[in-house]
C-alpha cells in the first residue's frame, strides 16, 4: 500500500469513528439538546416546581385572556394531544398570536406553567400578505400546525 493510500484509509476510518461517536453522544444527550418540551412531554415528566424549563407548541385558538388590567396574559399551549395553561406577566413578541408557535420559559406550578419569558416561533412559510389572503379565501391555507407536523417540529396528532 502506498503512503497516500494509507493516509486516505486512516482519514476515512477516523472520520467514520468520529461520526459514530458523535451520533452516540447526541442521542444520549437528546434530553438536553431539545430547546423545549411539548405539553405531552411535560405531563409525562411531572417536573419539580423549582425546575426551570421551556414548553413549546401552538397557542390554542380562543385561549388568550387578559387579567389584572391587561398586565397578565393567560393562554394554553397545545401539541394537539395535550394542553398546558400558561400565565405570563410582561410584553409579548409581535408574532405572538393564536394558532402560532410559541416557546415559554418558566416553572410548572400546580399544573399551570408560570412563564417569565415568551418567545414566538416562526414557521418556514414566506409569502406576501395578498397571497396569504388568497390562500385563506380559497380554502387552500396550509396551517402552521400541518407544516410543523410535516417538518417533524411537532409530533403527528394521529401518530400516537
Partner 1 sequence: MHRFANPNRFLRLSRPVIPWAAAVTVACVAIGLYLGLFRAPPDYQQGESVRIMYVHVPSAWMALFCYVSMALAAAVGLIWKHPLADLAAKATAPVGACFTFLALVTGSLWGKPMWGTWWAWDARMTSVLVLFFLYLGYMALNNAFDDPQRGARASAILALVGVVNVPIIKFSVDWWYSLHQPASVIKAGGPSIHPSMLWPLLFMAVGFTSYYLWVVLIRVRGEIIAGKIRAIRLRQVHGAAA
State in angstroms the smallest separation of the CB of 160 from partner 1: 16
Q: Which residue, 76 or 96, is less far from partner 1 as judged by CB? A: 96
State in angstroms the smallest separation of the CB of 138 from partner 1: 15
Span 76-115, contacts to partner 1 by CB under 8 A: 92-96, 103
Half-sphere exposure of 5 (CA within 13 A, CB side): 2
Q: What is the CA radius of gyration of the chain?
A: 21
Measured CA to CA, the distance from residue 67 to residue 47 in angstroms comes to 26
Task: Name the grid cell of 115.
Answer: 412563564
**How many residues sit in the footprint of partner 1 (CB under 8 A)?**
46
**3-state secondary structure (DSSP) of residue 103:** strand
CA 127 remoteness from chain centre: 22
Residues that bind partner 1 (CB under 8 A): 4, 7-8, 11, 14-15, 18-19, 22, 26, 30, 33-38, 56, 92-96, 103, 117-133, 147, 150-153
Amino acid at each position: 500500500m502506498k503512503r497516500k493510500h494509507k493516509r486516505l484509509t486512516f482519514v476515512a476510518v477516523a472520520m467514520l469513528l468520529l461520526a459514530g461517536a458523535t451520533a452516540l453522544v447526541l442521542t444520549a444527550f437528546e434530553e438536553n439538546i431539545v430547546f423545549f418540551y411539548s405539553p405531552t412531554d411535560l405531563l409525562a415528566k411531572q417536573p419539580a416546581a423549582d425546575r426551570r424549563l421551556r414548553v413549546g407548541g401552538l397557542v390554542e385558538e380562543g385561549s388568550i385572556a387578559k387579567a389584572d388590567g391587561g398586565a397578565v396574559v393567560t393562554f394554553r399551549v397545545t401539541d394537539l394531544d395535550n394542553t398546558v395553561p400558561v400565565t405570563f406577566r410582561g410584553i409579548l413578541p409581535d408574532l405572538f398570536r393564536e394558532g402560532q408557535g410559541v416557546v415559554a420559559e418558566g416553572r410548572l406550578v400546580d399544573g399551570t406553567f408560570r412563564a417569565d419569558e415568551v418567545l414566538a416561533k416562526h414557521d418556514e412559510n414566506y409569502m406576501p400578505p395578498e397571497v396569504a389572503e388568497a390562500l385563506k379565501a380559497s380554502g387552500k391555507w396550509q396551517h402552521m400546525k400541518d407544516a410543523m407536523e410535516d417538518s417533524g417540529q411537532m409530533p403527528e396528532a394521529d401518530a400516537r
